[in-house]
Structures are given as C-alpha cells and as structure tokens.
Chain A
Amino acid sequence: MPSAPPPLTPLRLLTGLARPHAGRLALGSLLFLFAGGASMSGLWIVGRIIDEGFIARDAGAFALWLGLMALAVTVQPTFWVLGFRLFNTADAAGQRAIVRRLTDHLNTAGTGVRGRVSAGELVNLPSEDMRKAAHTVTELGFVANNLAMFLIGSALVWSIHPLLGVIIIAGSGATALVAGPLLKRLQRRQADYRDMIGGLTAQAADIVGGLRVLRGIGGDLLFTDRYREQSTALRDRGYAVANSSSWIHALRHSMPIVFVAVITWVGALLAVDGALTIGGLASAFSFATIFIAVSGNFIISANYLVASWVAAGRLTRFLAIATDVDDDGTLRGGIGELRDPDSGLVVPESGLTVLVTAETAPAAEACERLARHRDSEAVWDGRPLESYALADVRERIMLLTDEDHLFEATLGETLRVGPDAALAAIETACAADVYTGLGGTFDGRVAEGGRNLSGGQRQRLRLARALAAAPQTLLAVEPTSAVDSHTESLIADRVSAARASLSTLVVTASPLWLAHADRVVWMVEGKVHATGSHAELLADPAYRRLASPREFMARKLRQGGETA
C-alpha cells in the first residue's frame, strides 16, 4: 500500500492550488511591484515638475520630467492590468481545480457524504466557498501591490523630508491601530447580522415553499406577522451595525485626511524655513492623499483573507469525509443466494420474491445491507458480501427505491442502454407516457430530479432504468406506490415475465404483485416472520389483514358502516 498522504489542512489546500501557478504568481507579484513603484514615482515627479519646471521656470526640465511622468502613467496601468490578469487567471484555474476536486471526491466518498453535509452546504461548497478559497491568490497579489506602494511611497516621502516620512509611517500605523479593534467589533456584529439575514431568508423561502398551504388552509397572517417581526429585529440589528460601520468608514476616510492636514501644516512650516521645496510640499500632500486608498486596502484585504481561510477550512473538512462503504473485497463472479443475517431475509438465485411488511423502513434497510449500501454481515453465495469486489457487487446486485435520483440528462442517457434495450425497459415499466411526453425520442431531456415529470412518471422511469441495467438481483422497495392499480397490475405482470431467469425482490403489500410472486416473505418489525406462497400465508389472520384485499376492504366497509 502506498504511504498515506499527510492530512489535508486549509494551508495545504491553498498552497496546493497555488503551486501549479508559481511562475505566474511570481511574475504577477513583480508586475504589481513595478506598478506600485510607477504609481508612487508619478507623484514624486509632480513635485520635481513644480520645483524644477514651474518655480525654476526651466522649460527643458519641465519637458524632461513631464516625459518621465508620461512614461510612468503609461507603465503603471499596463503593469497593473498584466499583473491583475496573471493573478486572476490563477484564481480562475483555482476555481476549476476546486470544482474538479469536489467532483472527484463525491465519486470516491459516495454515500459517505450523506448526513455529513446539509443540502445548503452542498450548494455553498462548490459556489461561495469555492470562490472565496480560490480568491486567496488574487487577494495576496493586491496585498503585494499595496505593500509595494506603501514601502516605495514611504521611502520617497522620506527622501523629500525625513520628518514627513516619519509622520506618514506613523500615520498609517495609527490608522491600523485605531481601525483594527473597531473592525473586529464590526465583524462580530456583522456575523450576527449575517446569521439573522440567513434566518430571515430561510423564513421567506419557507413561506414561498408552503404558500399553497398558507393560502389553502390559512396561517398567512400568522406567517406575515412572524416575518415582519423578524424583519424589524433585523433592521434594528442593522442599526447597531450602522453605528460601528459608520465610525469605521468615517475613520478610514478621515484619518488619512488628518495626516494630509498634519503634513500640510508641518510641510508648510518647513517650507517657510526653506527646509522643504514647494514641489516637495505638493508631492507630500499628494502621497498622503493616495495613502487613503492604501491603508484602506490593507483592511479590506485582511477581511477577504479571513473569509478565504474560513472557506478553505470548510472545503478541507468536506474533502476529509471518507466513504462509508469500504472496497477491500477481491472476490469476483458472485452468484447465488443472498442472505441478511440481521433480518433473516433470503433472496434466492432467481424468481420473484415479494416481501410483505407493515413497516417499510426496516425492510428497506435490509435491502440496503444486501446491496452493500451499508456494511453488514450479509452473505452472498456462502461468503461474506464484504469479501467481494465492490464493483462486482454493484454490477450484479441493484437496489431500487424512491430515493434514487434522476439526473439532468437525455432520456437515452438516463436509461444507459441502446435504443432497443431502452424501449424494452420502458415497455416493461409501462413508461411509454414518459417517452412520448419527452417528445417521443431518446433525446428528450429529463430535468434535474425529474422535475419535469409527475411523481408516477418518475417512479416508472426509475424502474425502467433499473430494468435496463438488468442486474442479476434487483431489490425494489415499493416500486409502484405512485402508480394506479391498472398500470401496477401490468407492471407486475411484465416485470415477473421479463426477469423470470433473474432474481427480483419487491417490497410491497400490493395484491397485484403478490399474484405473481414465486415466494412471499412476511416481515414483522424488521425480522422475517414467515416464508411461503401467498396462499399458504393467507392462513394467518395477521397476514390476511395486511395483504388480502378482501380482508382489508371488509374491515374498511365495517368501519365505514360504523361511521355512517
């Protein structure tokens, strides 16, 4: 066995995403560095133009510095967008890599993810979380760009006058010191606020989802009031957030202006003393102005990076979910009787077995064990089912339930066999209306979850798909519960004929299936209670109550008579 890779951490995930683009990112950082340098030099050049061009009244120097400025203003946008493109391309590739990885992980983890992640998370992981995690590289690029602007800008201001340099660096530090704690407070409030928005959105979704009930039976006023109450609470919470965030925005906006004022003041006094040129004063003023953006950007980037880290953590946790069905078996070519020691259920090598029970859930669980959708002591052909290769088990034993998913695909792709076999399966499952309803062609599209089909059509299409796969053993749980009696009778007839040489187990109490059963298993509270033919079992009154239409109806008629 190959040595196990080290466990995935958010950091490993993110570096793993960045590694294939190391060259791209290095070049991008360099470009951002140059762009930041060019942007800062432009402001410095403004000072030189004023001093050496304007004040010295030197047209030659004016032209020279202007030429350099023109160069800087052409270089800066060029380098910046080239860097932007490199970082964003790595970002886009990261998105692709995450979606691929999630896809592959879903395939290997299989049913292991069920119950471990909610439906909402499953939507968020490949959208919001994916976007945020992949965005890390771009945000780091912006940090590099701002850092370059900050360092080069500070150095240039320092060169104009050290005192101004000290003020600008101290000013940025002070901004961060004041804004940092405020930002934390804001984030806390915002987190509560976001949660409340989520709650309110869920409430709206609930109202829309149950609209039919609310309109049809009542409760619309109740739910409007509930929603309005929550909405008002959210608004008030929003007011609290507004208190913090207005401080932060004002500070972010005003702190740099305070330093612009301080620099103007100090610079003007220096200029009066002749220690600073007028051009130097104008440059320093412009630098201070631009630092508004830089110090603000650091705070924004920090926010984004925290969000990226959290998203990467969620992705990592999801990618760590292991499969719930181990594939350690090696045996192949299994055939013969299936046995589930837990319930005592036995499915013979061929023929139609009907499992009659008052409680479907434990019967379905027994079928899941026999189809190896959960690990168990089940036995196949005298050997533990777990000792067989999973692929072999999947090929020969198939479970069919109403939980089976219909994916967005053409009808042909859904049935997964050639047209002849597909038509035969459709015929057996009495699903011709699905075929004609989708346009009478195998290219007709089945919507995700079969949403464009009725409940009965979905059920028959799932049955047709299972029949088309023609597994050695088919374990079907209530395969015709949403089908009318007439059609159910036809299906029972056709399925038992089509699969005569194969093995089929149907969990149902329908007399229409029982009429075709080779063998009936009667399960009580999850354990096999008796086995025999339908006729034999009818001798037991408890069984009769469950599976005999006459008894069932007689009881109903009695009840009806009492109430009438």
Chain B
Amino acid sequence: MSATDLHERLPIASPAQVRRAFRGLLAADKGPAVQVLIMYTLAAGFSVAIPVLLGRVVDGIGAGWGAHEVNLTCAVILACVAVQFVLSRSGRRAGYRFGERAAARLREDVVARVLGLPLDRVEQAGRGDLGTRTSADVNTVADLLRDNGPSMVTSLIEVVVLYIALFVVDPLLGLVSLLTLPPLLLASRRYLRQANRVFTEQRAAMSEAAETLSASGSGARTVAALAMQEERRAIGHARAETLFERFKRLIRLQVEFFFFLLWLNRLQLVLVVVAAGFWYLEGGMSLGTAIAAITVVVRIANPTNSVMTQLSEFQQGAAALARIAGVGLIEPETRDAVPDGNDLVLDTVTFGYGDGPDVLHGLSLHPRQGERLVVVGPSGAGKSTIARLLAGIDRPRTGTATLGGVPVSDIPVEELRRRVVLVTQEHYVFTATLRENLILAAPDADDARLVAALRRVDAGWAVATGLDTMLGPEHRQLTTAEAQQIALARVVIADPPIVILDEATAGIDPASAGNVEVALAAALEGRTVIAIAHQLQAAASADRIAVVEDGRIAEEGPHAALLAAGGVYAGLWHAWQGD
C-alpha cells in the first residue's frame, strides 16, 4: 500500500476569507463586542482628560488661581481617574470574556468540522497538518482573542483618543504631531512584510531542532547500535547554527525597526515642543495649551509602541486563522443513497491515487453474504486499495463499487458504518478509559457486553485491568498487539454485517495472532468477512481466496481448488510451507 506519500494538502483560506472568518467571530457576539469597544473608548477618554485638565491648571495658576480653584480642578482629575479605573476594569473583563467565548466557539467549530470531513480527506490529511490546525493554530488564535487582542485594541483606542485630544487642545499642534505618522506607517509596513517571514523561519528552525533532537532521543538505541553519534552530533549542531543565524536575522530586523520607532516617538515630541514654543513665544497660544499638548504627546509613545510591537502577533494570528478557516473550505460530501440489502460488489473497477497511474485495472470481486473471503497477494498489488473501495472511502475511476445496489461512497457515513466496518493495521487507542475506547459504535452497551467482546478477542488482560482504566501514552500504554485487540473488540461490539480486515492482525505474536483470528472468526460467525493478508496463515481456513497481482484478480477459489490448480497461490503456499 503506497498511498502514504499522497498527502493532498488541506486548503488555506484567502485573506478575504480570513477577514470574513474574523468578522464572523465578532458578529456572533455583536452586542458584547460593541459594549467592550464603548467601555474601552470611554476609559481612554477619561484618562486623556487628565493632561487636558493639567493645562487648565497651568493657565489658571498663570491667571492667579488660589488653592481653592486648584483643589476643585484636581478633584475633578481624581474623579476622572476613578471613573477611568472602573471603566477600564469592567471593559477588560468584558473583553476577556468576549475573547474566551470566541476562542471556545472557534475550537469547537473546527473540531466539529474535522469530524465531518469526507472519508477520503480523513485518510489523506497528513496527521501533522490537521493536528497543527486543531491544536497549535487554534491556541494561537485563541491567545490572540483573549489576551493580545483586548490589550492591542485598548492601546489602539488610546492612541486614537490621544490624537483626538491633541486636536481638541490645539488643531495646529495636532497636525504637527501627525508629521511622524506617515514614516511610522511606512516603516511598520516594511517591517511587517519581512517580520512574518523571519518569524516563521525562526519558528521553523526551532521545530526542526526539536524534531532532530527528539529523533535522536526516540532513536537512541539505533544511534548506539550503529555508532551514529558523530552524524547526530553534526546534524544537531547544524540545527543549532541555523537557529542562531535565524535569530540574528530577526535581531537585525528588529534593531532597525525599533530604532526607527523609538526615534520617531521622540522626534514627534521634539517637533511638538518646537512648534508649541514657537507659537507660545509668538503669542498665539497659552502656556496651559502648550503644556497640555506636550504632556499628551509624551503619553502617545507607550500605546503606539505596544500597538506596533504586537502587529506581528496579529499577522501570525491571521496566518493561523487562515489555516483553521481552510478546514471549512473542504466541500462536504453529499452522501444520500439508501442501500437495499448488504450485497457488496466491485464491478470492473479501475482506480488510482490522485493523478497517479491506475492501481487497479478492471477488477471485479463479489464477496457472498456470510462468506469469509481472503484476499492475498504481494505487497503493492492493490489489496488495501480494494479494501478502501469496498469501505466507501474512495470512488472508483471507472466501474462501480456498490452496497445494496447503490454506490458505497454515496451512502451516508452513519448508515454505512452500521453495515461495513474496516479495520486496518493502524490501531488507534484514545486517551480515554477502556470503556470509552470500546463503546464507540454502541454508546449504550453495558459492561457485560464489553467484557464478552474483550474475551472474544482473547484480551483477558483488558478484562483484568478493568473498564475504567485510563489508556494512552501517559496512562496505560498498550503494546501493538493489545491495541489490535482493542480495535477488534470494537468491531465485535459494533457487530456490522460486513467486516473488512486489512492486515488487522499483522502485529500480534504469531501464536496469539492465530488465537485472535480464530476467536474473531467465531465472533463474526454469519457475517461477511473480507480479510486482506500478505501472509498465508489466514488463507487456508477461508471459504474463498482471491489472489491479487498487479491490480488484477489472478486466481479465485477455495484453498483446495487453488492448490489443485497449481497456479500462483499453489506456488506461494508451497514456498511458505518450505516445501
């Protein structure tokens, strides 16, 4: 089976689709979002009132205010601070809560979408890609929504309100302060263009280092056995060097941008001081106005810097959201055929993966109901492809694969799996209790039924350990053979009329493999069983054997008949027996 290299990449959303996805997240919770924005704006407004009132005080002192007037104005300032504090706290709280809800919606949505993926996509998607989208990418966007997002929005609103305040204090000084804005925007645009790539490269270097080192760790015995220390050392040190170089590139980029950012901040202050001084000395401006304007500009620097330095995080968040939204771009399958009966037929099918050449060439196979059919043949002959067509994962290029008279791949998944279950070599054990691992197909199954199924597949260990035992890497880790038994027990519990076993017992000890197969055969009595095998153990007891070679059925018939025919099967059989 060589479909492993045929990962078709999952789609990535376009910028417009990302914007739509982002708007969707906001729109789903519109009321609170508006509330949050209003509170942020009011809080910023009240905090900006302070430097403005300071200017009033300065002018007042100039005009001969006494302590009473000062106290009155300063009490107003303190009141502004108090209101600002309350608004800022409740605004933040509402903002975080909004972010939490949006993050929860996002992750639940993507998981639901993943669980609705078309079957062939499920097979194709490199686990890595889909896994990254549902874990790392979701976490990146969630962090943005509940943490960086609110703080960036606060900063942004603060900057806008400060500029407005400056214009209110003195429009001309407001215009002067805007002089540094165009170069700042240009510089940040330039920075962002490069930053995304540099950050991505740096992260890639880090995950390459992590991958190399964890390979050295999981392959520690191989390193020792083959004396590969020098090679691993060379690779590890090369990764370290790449990491260093990429980090230095990032430093260069940041040094340039931060210098410009800091310098423009201060240049803005100098420009406003010069202009205010000039107009004040010319007599066109009060001292209070000049001071109010200067102190407002002093305040602009901090929120501006925090917006600018967080922009790249937003960019990364957008990239993550593009990948998450990409999962939703996969067309759902329309499966609405209703099978009549459980007759499974492959009729002169051809099939190939992607754009590749045909793997099956006009192959026909008709497992009779209740029959145990074994498909044997050398690796790469197309046996697993037959299994995938029978299970409705792939559609044949020509010819038909039908169940109960309708194409298998048109039957809704929920209906199909009540009739046909495919068990492959890949046995997945969920990090969950043994019970949860078993009741997948029958959520209502009682313990007695589960225990009976475990005994059927010879999994006495599982009965002994108890149904509430947590399984998984950090709990009870199963051997391949044990995982296989769990997979088979699931089938026994699901109890479908048709079972396809694709090398399902390949990893079990030779002696126990025999026992499991025998037990399974008993458990599946009366069911149609199609077993794919590369070794001949399983063949002899079958009702019928189909020998596949080069995507065609080379021979078909019961064991004795095939032996008597003296063809391919007989040759394999004798070779296997060591005759």
Contacts and interface: CB of A to CB of B under 8 A. Distances in A.
Interface string B34-75: 000000000000010011011001100110011100110110
Determine chain B's interface SS by DSSP, over half rule.
helix
Contact of B262 (A80, A119, A391): A80
Nearest to B100: A238
Interface in A118-132: 118-119, 122-127, 130-131
A476 B525 CA distance: 38
Interface stretch (B170-178, B184-192, B237-245): B237-245
B466 interface: no
A109 B216 CA distance: 11
Contacts of B50: 257, 260-261, 264
A147 B210 CA distance: 36
A216 B417 contact: yes
Interface stretch (A2-10, A85-93, A334-342, A419-427): A85-93
B122 A212 contact: yes
B522 interface: yes
A174 interface: no
A486 B473 CA distance: 36
Contact of B115 (A220, A268, A371, A487): A220
Given A278-B287, A405-B215, A114 B220 contact: yes
A272 interface: yes
Interface in B284-302: 287, 290-291, 294-295, 298-299, 302
Interface string B432-443: 100010011111
Contacts, number: 502
Nearest to A70: B270
Nearest to B487: A213
Which among B65, B88, B117, B221 has the highest number of chain A CB atoms within 10 Å? B221
Determine chain A's interface SS by DSSP, over half rule.
helix
A313 interface: no
Nearest to A511: B578
Interface in B131-171: 131, 134-135, 138-139, 142, 146, 151
A66 interface: yes
A358 B511 contact: yes
Contacts of B436: 222
B440 A218 contact: yes
A419 B302 CA distance: 63
A224 B220 contact: no
Given A84-B255, A264-B77, A512 B575 contact: yes
A546 interface: yes
A69 B57 CA distance: 25
B540 to A, nearest CB: 4
B61 A394 contact: no
A49 B224 contact: no
Contact of A449 (B215, B216, B379): B215
Given A210-B428, A254-B84, A563-B525, A99 B507 contact: no
A509 interface: yes
A168 interface: no
Contacts of A510: 510
A449 B97 CA distance: 43
- Interface size range of chain B in the complex: 35 or more
A208 interface: yes
Contacts of A95: 240, 243-244, 247
A104 interface: yes
Contact of A228 (B53, B108, B229, B262): B108
A242 B280 contact: no
Contact of A546 (B146, B291, B511): B511
Given A42-B266, A84-B255, A224 B111 contact: yes
B70 A456 contact: no
A217 B441 contact: yes
A509 B576 CA distance: 12
A290 interface: yes
Given A49-B277, A454-B2, A104 B506 contact: no
A360 interface: yes
B576 A512 contact: yes
B104 A235 contact: yes
Interface stretch (A16-24, A380-388, A395-403, A497-505): A395-403
A110 B223 contact: yes
B334 interface: no
Interface string A94-119: 01110110111011011111100111
A241 to B, nearest CB: 7
A552 B537 contact: yes
Contacts of A325: 224
A543 B436 CA distance: 39
A163 interface: no
A344 interface: no
Interface in A195-240: 197, 200-224, 226-228, 231-232, 234-235, 238-239
Which among B123, B254, B291, B426 has the highest number of chain A CB atoms within 10 Å? B291
A117 B295 contact: no
B401 interface: no
A40 interface: no
B77 A250 contact: no
B273 interface: yes
A163 to B, nearest CB: 15
Interface string A469-501: 100000000000111111111000000000000
A448 B131 contact: no
Interface in B223-276: 223-229, 231-233, 235-237, 239-241, 243-244, 247-248, 251, 254-255, 258-259, 262-263, 266-267, 269-270, 273-274
A264 B213 contact: no
A213 B211 contact: no
Contacts of A119: 214, 218, 473
Interface in B1-31: 1-2, 4-5
22 contacts: A80-B259, A99-B237, A99-B239, A122-B213, A127-B209, A131-B206, A201-B139, A204-B135, A211-B130, A218-B441, A222-B439, A238-B146, A246-B96, A249-B88, A250-B89, A254-B88, A264-B50, A269-B67, A272-B65, A404-B222, A413-B231, A485-B536
Given A114-B218, A123-B214, A232-B104, 19 more contacts: A54-B281, A73-B266, A84-B258, A85-B251, A92-B243, A93-B244, A96-B243, A205-B135, A218-B494, A242-B96, A249-B151, A258-B78, A261-B80, A272-B61, A399-B221, A404-B221, A404-B225, A484-B534, A556-B541
List of 8 A-B pairs having minimum Cβ-Cβ separation, nearest first: A405-B219, A103-B236, A219-B440, A242-B96, A73-B266, A515-B578, A560-B541, A358-B511
